[in-house]
Structure 1
Amino acid sequence: MNIALIIAGGVGNRMGQDIPKQFINVYDKPVIIYTLEAFQKHPNINEIYVVCLEGWHDILRAYAKQFEITKLKGVFNGGASAQESIRNGIMEIKASDDDIIVIHDGVRPLVDDFVLSDVIAKAQEFGNAVTSMPYNEQIFVKQTEETTEKYIPRDTLRRVSTPQAYKYSKLIWAYKKAFEENIGIGNSSYTNTMMVDLGETLYFAAGSDRNIKLTTKDNLEIFKAYLKMEKDGWLK
């Protein structure tokens, strides 16, 4: 079985709005519903669970009913950090050891079918998979505030995001160990970085430039532009 765990526990301070960014309406639909619809329509996703900001559970369930997200099976409380939120969800889900858990940010609403298909297939084959893309910019290492003499060859880099997929048994082991031993659970960490900190090898899956994270108002405008482009339908 393939289970989606959607992380929507943040408050979205950088968006500067009065409500959490995952609940902002774009063309009369909340951002979180765009995300859930991608998983709802994908034939390889069996169940959906959401880690949600406390106080917004009933609103999420109401939206899910309105937009027919029938695969939604549970809503859990978020934590003080992304890692705590993910751990909360992992510990609440009832799954078999070999089930694949697909972790995805609730504010990445443009996840493509082929991205989901590939991350699931790679996780089934290797035990884990992380969505990735080539890094196309030059990266220089800062030596002082104004100087550098060193760069990192970009062909050695990949930029990764969600969705990420892991076998359930590995996630249970990893989050128990990480929180017991304080490994890979800092504010900037996520499941993928935690796994590396725990000594695991990660496998790359396909990514997409469309899979943007809605963090600022500029990101929101880009999302709206993507939706409008899809509606216009004039590009081949």
Structure 2
Amino acid sequence: MITALIIAGGVGKRMGQDIPKQFIMVEDKPIIIYTLESFQKHPMIDRILVVCKKGWEDTLSAYAKEYHIDKLEWIIEGGNSGQESIRNGVDFLKAHSDKDDTVVIHDGIRPLVDEIVLSDVIVKCREFGNAVTSIPYNEQIFVKETEETTKQYINRETLRRVSTPQAYQFDKLAWAYEKAFKEGIGISESSYANTMMVDLGETLYFAVGSDKNIKLTTQDDLQLFKGYLRMKEE
């Protein structure tokens, strides 16, 4: 069984909107639905669980019915951070999953998920037990000496940009979140499943990524997303 665990519990203050950014309408469709449609259409995804911002569960359920997202089986309440939301999802799935199931974690505000990206992360996870979407880092990275100076850089050939989707074998994922929250490892506000796994000593495996798989955080990101949609239409 392959379950998509979609994280949609954020507020999105940097977007400058009055509603959570995952519910912003783009071309008369909420962002979260673009994301869910990618998983709905993918033949390897069996079911979807969304961890949603409190108070927006009914809205999401109504949108899912309107856009025929019938793989969406559950909507549960999110936590105070991304890590808490993922943990809520993992804890919920304990009653609905076998140990060798695959869980694909994805940000609800990454609506441009290519089928090949989803396929590769699932295949790699089945082979190695986990997989994280990644792409080469093409910019130069310098280390701050002071706020205004630097004299050290990092070889970009040693770097990868990792994002979602990420996939994990369920029993290892459940073990990791239980241990992490019990011992306070890898659960800071900026942590995610992948960084937590490394903090717990796990080895991660790279899967195929895409530059198009942007995270909609600012108004500039939103305009870029609209541009991709126009290109697709043309």
What TM-score does the superposition give when structure 2 sets the normalisation length? 0.98
Partner of 2:21: 21
Matched, 1:231 2:233: yes
Matched, 1:43 2:17: no
Matches within 5 A, 1:52-91: 52-91=52-91
For residues 145 and 62 of structure 1, the distance between their equivalents in structure 2, rounded to whole angstroms, comes to: 48
For residues 222 and 43 of structure 2, the distance between their equivalents in structure 1, rounded to whole angstroms, comes to: 28
Deviation by residue 1:126-165 (Cα, 9 ceiling, x = unmatched): 0000000000001111111222111110000000000000
| Offset of residue 89 of structure 1 | 0.5
Partner of 2:100: 98
Aligned residues: 232
Equivalent of residue 167 in structure 1, options 169, 178, 181: 169
Partner of 1:119: 121
Secondary structure at the counterpart of residue 25 of structure 2:
coil
For residues 66 and 99 of structure 2, the distance between their equivalents in structure 1, rounded to whole angstroms, comes to: 33
Equivalent of residue 154 in structure 1, options 150, 153, 156: 156
2:90 is aligned with what amino acid?
A: I
Secondary structure at the counterpart of residue 116 of structure 2:
helix
2:40 is aligned with what amino acid?
A: Q
Runs of 4+ in 1 over 6 A off after TM superposition: none
For residues 60 and 85 of structure 2, the distance between their equivalents in structure 1, rounded to whole angstroms, comes to: 16
Matches within 5 A, 1:184-195: 184-195=186-197
Partner of 1:9: 9
Partner of 2:184: 182
Secondary structure at the counterpart of residue 149 of structure 1:
strand
For residues 28 and 71 of structure 2, the distance between their equivalents in structure 1, rounded to whole angstroms, comes to: 22
Mind listing any 5+ residue stretches in structure 2 that lack a counterpart? none
| Offset of residue 3 of structure 1 | 0.5
Partner of 2:138: 136
For residues 204 and 219 of structure 2, the distance between their equivalents in structure 1, rounded to whole angstroms, comes to: 32
Equivalent of residue 215 in structure 2, options 181, 188, 213: 213
What TM-score does the superposition give when structure 1 sets the normalisation length? 0.98
Q: Percent identity?
A: 70
Deviation by residue 1:29-80 (Cα, 9 ceiling, x = unmatched): 0000000000000000000000000110011000000000000000011000
Q: Please report the RMSD computed on the Cα atoms of aligned residues, expressed in angstroms.
A: 0.5
2:105 is aligned with what amino acid?
A: I
For residues 186 and 72 of structure 1, the distance between their equivalents in structure 2, rounded to whole angstroms, comes to: 29
1:54 is aligned with what amino acid?
A: K
